[in-house]
Amino acid sequence: MTDDRPGPLRRDEALALWRAYFAHQRLPLEEEPAVERFGDSRALADELIGLVLAGTKRATAGLVADFAVEGEPLPRIGGHWVPCDGDGVPRCVLRSTELRLGPLTSVDDAFAWDEGEGDRSRDGWLTSHLAYFRRTQAARGEAWSNDLEVVFERFRVVWPPEVADQLNGSGRWAPARPAPPAAAAPPAWRRCPPPCAGPR
């Protein structure tokens, strides 16, 4: 069996990446950013940071309770954080651009799309996030409750330059590498389980 536990976060490398961003921008350093990873496994962290670097993922969601348990403050608009991959290697600097608190079911279609995961639908988002939050709550001996507050966060990538979001012609921030177009849903006959032989 393969060990899928994520590696330790390389905080010193993350802070060096963050300082490089501030030096390049000629900004005074602000308080140190959070150094985190997406997900709860090495594979999930790698998958989700890959979506960020590809320009597909520009939003994330987390339980308010998770921040409290980890002793981390909630994100703030304009704040920065450094996400790491599954090995703990820092990959970029993010800046929070929008925050909202609410129940899991308050997610809308646009936010689910901006998270960039799965089929990018609201239904798919709810299914995967409910499973994830139930799993992480159970891992610390707590039960899921529909009353738990979720932090819905949008962000942009600000560093390093090769993956940083850029202002486009309409004055909006866009990924440096445009995300590939969403794949069209396969015909209904291809979605049916075997021994389905084709359209009827």
Q: Which domains are assigned to the chain? A: 11-191 (3.10.400.10)
Q: Which pTM was predicted?
A: 0.84
Strands 166-167 and 59-63: unpaired
Between residues 193 and 38, which one has the greater pLDDT? 38
pLDDT (tens digit per residue) in 105-143: 999 999 999 999 999 999 999 999 999 999 999 999 999
Q: Is the pLDDT of residue 185 over 70?
A: no
Phi, psi (rounded to 5 degrees) for 196: -55, 125
Report whether pLDDT(160) > 70. yes
Length of the chain: 200
pLDDT, tens only, 30-85: 889 999 999 999 999 999 999 999 999 999 999 999 999 988 899 999 999 999 99
